[in-house]
């Protein structure tokens, strides 16, 4: 790519150095620390543990860990609660803990797609079937690559790919499925969009997705902790800790795999070999902050450049390519002036806001020991704290 002046790399600093209000950030940290605490009613807490990282510009003003990376040995089906490990056998959460990112993987796939556009190998407004002919079956001939990235293709949210053996048979299930709505007419969030996009990218580049991510994103940015699983104790920031996810068993899950820690949780990503466009990456809060900083810096971080300014803007301008824009259900008061981000089923989330030059990563193992209906209130509350740290308001949260 053409040269560009380097931009500052991330560094630790105080709220004042970041231009953020210390009182709001203290509340943010205090509230995150409470998330792993048990409910008085005896229910499992919102998460077993969490890591929060927040900053502005090149300054990381908050980086805290709370609770446990591994807290439970199983889920008691009858009680509907986790079976806790003895305290001495639990694994404490660390700021360098690796998390199964789940759908945050989609952001990396989106970046890889825009990189192929820059190289002239991909046109967002061409039909997907021009790159993967089999995709055009069952009324999908007009679906474009852009519609995959904006979730306007009409594809259903998911299919049980894990019921078929072999990648060809699994992808054929997607190719054979008819859209629920006419392409371009309605929004429907779908894992299948990014699974199809993976096939497009691997076709035009003649490289597997994990190589595209490593060589085009994580390698240049120095995100050494980020990669597709399975992962083990890899010595991230001296911690060597991986956050556990689910005691994956029927009837609440789709496969019987037991307690997962270091293997991708998503059943379809697992069936696809652990490398999928919609899920499969593992990372740390610190690495994700680097990605945020690179996007806020117009595709540049330090001396590395992974995107042009135009491409970075394309990802983050409404309606977003892969990124959700202004979603108050998890962005709280950061939403409303172009904030971009995403959430992951395992309890992960990332938000970046070009208007205030801020970023927030909240990683939690909310499905440890088992999945539950989503509760996004803690994510929205954390984002609101950061928003108010930039522009303090007299009205506060209780």
Amino acid 77: pLDDT: 87
Q: Are 167 and 272 in contact (CB under 8 A)?
A: yes
When pLDDT is cut at 50, 70 and 90, the band that residue 5 belongs to is low
Strands 59-70 and 11-12: parallel
Question: pLDDT at residue 235 above 50?
Answer: no
Question: pLDDT at residue 148 above 90?
Answer: yes
Each residue of 76-105: b (16+ CB within 10 Å) or e? eeeeeebebeeeeebbebbbbbbbbbbbbb
48-85 per-position pLDDT tens digit: 999 999 999 999 999 999 999 999 999 998 887 899 99
Q: What is the mean pLDDT of residues 141-169?
A: 97
Amino acid 44: pLDDT: 87
Give the list of residues 6+ apart from residue 278 with CB closer than 8 angstroms, or none: 103, 105, 106, 109, 191, 192, 193, 194, 195, 198, 266, 268, 269
Question: pLDDT at residue 239 above 50?
Answer: no
Amino acid 262: pLDDT: 95
Q: What is the mean pLDDT of residues 358-371?
A: 97
Amino acid 398: pLDDT: 41
Amino acid 7: pLDDT: 73
Q: For 321, what's the count of Cα atoms within 13 Å in the CB-facing half-sphere? A: 22
Which two tokens mark 256? 């019987």
When pLDDT is cut at 50, 70 and 90, the band that residue 396 belongs to is very low
Which two tokens mark 266? 């998503």
Q: What is the mean pLDDT of residues 172-200?
A: 97
- Write down the mean pLDDT value for the chain: 93
Name all domains of the chain by residue range, CATH numbers in brackets.
11-102+228-301+330-390 (3.40.710)
When pLDDT is cut at 50, 70 and 90, the band that residue 287 belongs to is very high
341-350 per-position pLDDT tens digit: 999 999 999 9
């Amino acid at each position: 790519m053409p040269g560009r002046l380097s931009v500052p790399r991330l560094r630790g600093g105080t709220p004042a150095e970041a231009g953020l209000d210390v009182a709001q950030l203290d509340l943010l940290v205090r509230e995150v620390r409470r998330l792993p605490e048990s409910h008085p009613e005896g229910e499992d807490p919102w998460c077993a543990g969490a890591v929060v990282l927040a900053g502005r510009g090149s300054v990381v003003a908050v980086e805290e860990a709370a609770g446990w990376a591994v807290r439970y040995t199983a889920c008691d089906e009858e009680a509907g609660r986790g079976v806790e490990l003895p305290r001495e056998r639990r694994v404490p959460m660390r700021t360098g803990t690796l998390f199964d990112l789940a759908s945050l993987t989609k952001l990396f796939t989106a970046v890889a797609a825009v990189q192929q556009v820059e190289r002239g190998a991909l046109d967002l407004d061409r039909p997907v079937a021009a790159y993967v002919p089999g995709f055009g079956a069952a009324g999908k001939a007009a679906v474009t690559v852009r519609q995959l990235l904006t979730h306007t293709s009409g594809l259903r949210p998911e299919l049980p790919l894990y019921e078929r053996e072999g990648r060809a048979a699994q992808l054929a299930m997607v190719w054979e499925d008819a859209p629920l709505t006419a392409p371009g007419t309605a929004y429907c969030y779908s894992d299948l969009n990014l699974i199809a996009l993976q096939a497009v990218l691997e076709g035009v580049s003649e490289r597997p997705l994990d190589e595209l991510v490593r060589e085009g994103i994580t390698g240049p940015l120095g995100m050494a902790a980020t990669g597709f699983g399975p992962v083990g104790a890899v010595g991230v920031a001296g911690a060597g800790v991986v956050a556990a996810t689910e005691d994956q068993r029927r009837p609440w899950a789709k496969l019987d795999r037991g307690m997962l820690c270091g293997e991708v949780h998503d059943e379809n990503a697992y069936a696809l070999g652990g490398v999928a466009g919609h899920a499969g990456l593992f990372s740390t809060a610190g690495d994700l902050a680097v990605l945020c900083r690179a996007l806020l810096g117009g595709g540049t971080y330090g001396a590395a450049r992974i995107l042009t300014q135009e491409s970075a803007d394309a990802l983050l301008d409404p309606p977003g390519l892969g990124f959700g824009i202004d979603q108050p259900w998890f962005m709280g008061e950061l939403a409303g002036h172009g904030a971009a981000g995403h959430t992951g089923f395992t309890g992960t989330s990332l938000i970046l806001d070009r208007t205030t030059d801020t970023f927030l990563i909240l990683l939690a193992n909310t499905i440890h020991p088992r999945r539950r209906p989503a509760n996004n209130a803690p994510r929205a509350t954390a984002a609101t704290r950061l928003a108010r740290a930039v522009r303090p308001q007299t009205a506060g949260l209780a």
